[in-house]
Amino acid sequence: MAQSVTPAPVPRHYLMCRPTHFAVEYTINPWMDPAAGVDRARAIRQWEGLRDLYLSLGHRVSEIEPIDGLPDMVFAANGALVVDGRVYGARFASAERTPEGPAYLDWFREAGYTETHEPKYVNEGEGDFLALDDVVLAATGFRTEAAAHQEAERFLGRPVITLQLADPRFYHLDTALFVLSDDRIAYYPGAFSTGSQRVLRALYPDALLATEEDAAVLGLNAVCDGRNVVIAAEAVSLAHRLRALGYTVHPVELDELRRAGGGAKCCTLELRDVPV
Ligand code: ARG
């Protein structure tokens, strides 16, 4: 991997949802144990730390109003996929999260986004779609249907590459892979089928390969602006390797949200090209 890192990151615009109603009340991924309970006040403090970090890095953060009865709404990444100001809406796999799809789409319409698409197929937004400059990487296997990949490709006008997830702990693409720059990714190979591992190797021979230990603390659920990487504090060895490549690493404590299977990226939906 080359050593050079983008010198000055372009300010990003993120959408976030305060975990006002956060809870683990049902189980839709292996991380969620309703019997274990959550400390909501602590989740809110950790989330505020993440939001404040983005602001201190010069990024803009918009917030969507949390809705009572939707305890997973804090995971804004699942709310949509936005590319070139075009908003491909989410359609959740589980009944528990289904109302979040229209709620997020309403936010976009009210915020002035005119190009929005109500999806026909099940897809969980940036949880399973990650945009690079020329392509969108997309996962199927646990949540998002492969037909949604084609639907998104047609709506966004960007080629979408289908990847197959294979380990239920890494049920969304953003738990197994993150984008460092427009041609550079980090991922945990074991989260993918052997065919998709071959595809990733062919497309990104210089990718940073994470270990199972990195992945098991949701270290790949990270957010990068080209220079800064916001990453789970427990992902120590991955952080070390990112620093060696020249990235500025910002460890964040989000273990309370990890009880629902989410980390920094899950809480963060990137808004690309905001209408004025
Ligand atoms: N409990 C949530 C779910 O299973 C967590 C979602 C995490 N979001 C993400 N982008 N991976 O749907």
Kindly report, residue by residue over 211-244, the tens digit of the pLDDT.
Answer: 999 999 999 999 999 999 999 999 999 999 999 9
| Ligand 1 close to Cβ of residue 29 (< 6 A) | yes
Structural domain spans, the chain: 13-270
CA distance 112 to 260: 31
Please say whether the structural domain 13-270 has been given the CATH code 3.40.50.300. Answer: no
- pLDDT of amino acid 276: 43
CA gap 79, 200 in Å, rounded: 25
Using a 6 Å cutoff on CB, does residue 70 contact ligand 1?
no
Q: How far is the CA of 262 from the centre of ligand 1 (A)?
A: 5
pLDDT confidence tier of residue 177, bands split at 50, 70 and 90? very high
Interval 48-86: pLDDT, tens: 999 999 999 999 999 999 999 999 999 999 999 999 999
pLDDT of residue 10: 86
pLDDT tens-digit series, residues 145-167:
999 999 999 999 999 999 999 99
Is 269's C-beta closer than 6 angstroms to any atom of ligand 1? no
Name all contacts of 51-57 with Cβ < 8 Å and 24+ positions apart: 51/16, 53/230, 53/250, 53/252, 54/12, 54/14, 54/230, 54/268, 57/9, 57/225, 57/228, 57/250
Token look-up 């230990």 returns 213
Cα separation, 164 vs 199, in Å, equals 10
Residue with CA at minimum distance from ligand 1 atom 1: 260
Calculate how far, in angstroms, residue 8's C-alpha sits from the geometric centre of ligand 1.
Answer: 31
Q: Which amino acid is at 2?
A: A
137, pLDDT greater than 80: yes
What's the pLDDT score for residue 247? Answer: 97
| 164 φ, ψ (degrees, to nearest 5) | -105, 120
**Biggest CA-to-CA distance, the chain:** 47
Question: Residue 261 C-alpha to ligand 1 middle, in angstroms?
Answer: 6
Active-site residues: which are they? Answer: 172, 266
| Residue among 150, 209, 147, 143 nearest 176 (CA) | 209
pLDDT surpasses 80 at 19: yes
- Which residues, including other chains, have CB under 8 Å from residue 70's CB and lie 6 or more apart? 21, 97, 99, 100, 103
